[in-house]
Amino acid sequence: MLPTSIHFPDCSQGSVEVAYGGFATVWQSMHNGVRVAVKVFHVYMTSDLDKLLGEFCREGVAWKHLQHPNILPLLGVTISEHRFAMVSEWMDNGNIMQYIEKDQHANRPMLLVDVANGLKYLHDLQIVHGDLRGVLVSLKLIFHASHLTMKANVLINRDKRACLADFGLVTATSAATRAAAQSSQLSLLSIDSLMPFTTGVSFRWMSPELLDPERFVIPAQSDVSDRPTTQSDCYAFGMVIYEVLCGHCPYVEIASDILVLNAIIFFFFFFFFLKP
């Protein structure tokens, strides 16, 4: 099932856990003297495990063959009996928000152009990122800073340029999760955490049509869907612009993600439907 071209040897021995999230754990490991990031996805043994891994394998193959200066290279994929992991280069400069906080003189417009170029490259190939953000949490006082490294997917490489990671993974995971939930055959560590479209952690970066597809349906779409699109990617990019230029996440003045959801729905409903 896994092409030899993307197979990567197991390098879990001696790994150090650096971040933990709802659908994966990130480990720092070594391979041939080089530091790498190993993202291990949380799954339990089920009769539908092959279906879930098949989704990730397809995403891995697509990611492996992408070549762009603003796309994080995928080194390969490792699969054991009940373990699935993607291996990429370790980014010493961290994510974009960590970097600009550390370097007050960072060229923020240049970094945003990098993000735009990487996103355009994906969209030109009909690839939707689906989970673009600079940082996960709304208040550092609530979540430990290590979680920021895990979920942020705009990273800074050794040349101090921004590159995108994790594109397509949430879409593949949520699709597999939906199908499994309907058949009640798949057991995951946390179905809700694997589907950010139904949890509060991503509300701040999500476009209104993902939050309430029936009310904010995109006219060009023939059906009502909460699956991410190139349009929702562009909305998320707008939120990343806000993050980078302002230095904090969207709606930072609102602590509760549920209240953020209500605020977004109310604002767009008022703007589009209730204005005179």
Phi, then psi, of 261 in degrees rounded to 5: -55, -50
- Considering its fold, how many domains does the chain have in total? 2
| 242-261 exposure pattern, b = at least 16 Cβ within 10 A, e = fewer | bbbeeebbbbeebeebeebb
**What is the arithmetic mean of pLDDT over 36-49?**
72
Rounded alpha-carbon distances, angstroms, from residue 61 to 1, 18, 190: 11, 25, 25
pLDDT above 50 (res 119)? yes
Q: Which helix (H) or strand (E) holds 171?
A: helix 169-183
pTM: 0.78
**Residue in 64, 75, 1, 4 with CA at minimum distance from that of residue 39:** 75
Same domain flag for 68 and 126: no
Tell me, yes or no, whether 103 lies in a domain: yes
Tell me, yes or no, whether 186 lies in a domain: no
Least trusted range by pLDDT, from 40-44, 52-56, 176-180, 194-198:
194-198
Tell me, yes or no, whether 188 lies in a domain: no
Same domain flag for 15 and 105: no
**Residue in 28, 100, 105, 73 with CA at minimum distance from that of residue 11:** 28
pLDDT for position 46: 52
State the amino acid at position 60 in one-letter form: G
What is the C-alpha radius of gyration for the chain, rounded to an integer number of angstroms? 18
Tell me, yes or no, whether 47 lies in a domain: yes
**Residue in 193, 201, 200, 198 with CA at minimum distance from that of residue 213:** 198
* pLDDT, tens digit, 9 for 90 and up, residues 122-166: 999 999 998 899 875 544 434 433 333 446 789 999 999 999 998
Same domain flag for 81 and 127: no
pLDDT for position 88: 92
**What is the arithmetic mean of pLDDT over 225-250?**
90
Which residues contact residue 33 at a Cβ distance below 8 angstroms, ignoring those fewer than 6 apart? none
Tell me, yes or no, whether 189 lies in a domain: no
Residue 150's domain is classified under what CATH number? Answer: 1.10.510.10
- CA–CA gap between residue 256 and residue 252 (Å, rounded): 10
State the amino acid at position 239 in one-letter form: M
Range(s) of the domain holding residue 33: 4-89
Tell me, yes or no, whether 181 lies in a domain: no
Q: Could you say which of 89, 109, 128 is where a domain stops?
A: 89
Burial class (CB within 10 angstroms; exposed 0-12, middle 13-18, buried 19+) of 12:
middle
Can you say whether the dihedral through the CA atoms of 219, 220, 223, 229 is positive or negative?
negative
Same domain flag for 122 and 206: yes
Say if residues 205 and 68 touch (Cβ distance below 8 Å).
Answer: no
Tell me, yes or no, whether 148 lies in a domain: yes
User: What residues are paired with 89 via a beta bridge?
Assistant: 36
**What is the arithmetic mean of pLDDT over 66-81?**
89
| 130-142 exposure pattern, b = at least 16 Cβ within 10 A, e = fewer | bbbbbbbbbeeee
**What is the arithmetic mean of pLDDT over 252-263?**
82
What percent of the chain has pLDDT above 70? 67
Q: Could you say which of 63, 89, 115 is where a domain stops?
A: 89
Which residues contact residue 202 at a Cβ distance below 8 angstroms, ignoring those fewer than 6 apart? 131, 133, 196
Same domain flag for 11 and 58: yes
Same domain flag for 84 and 103: no
Tell me, yes or no, whether 137 lies in a domain: yes
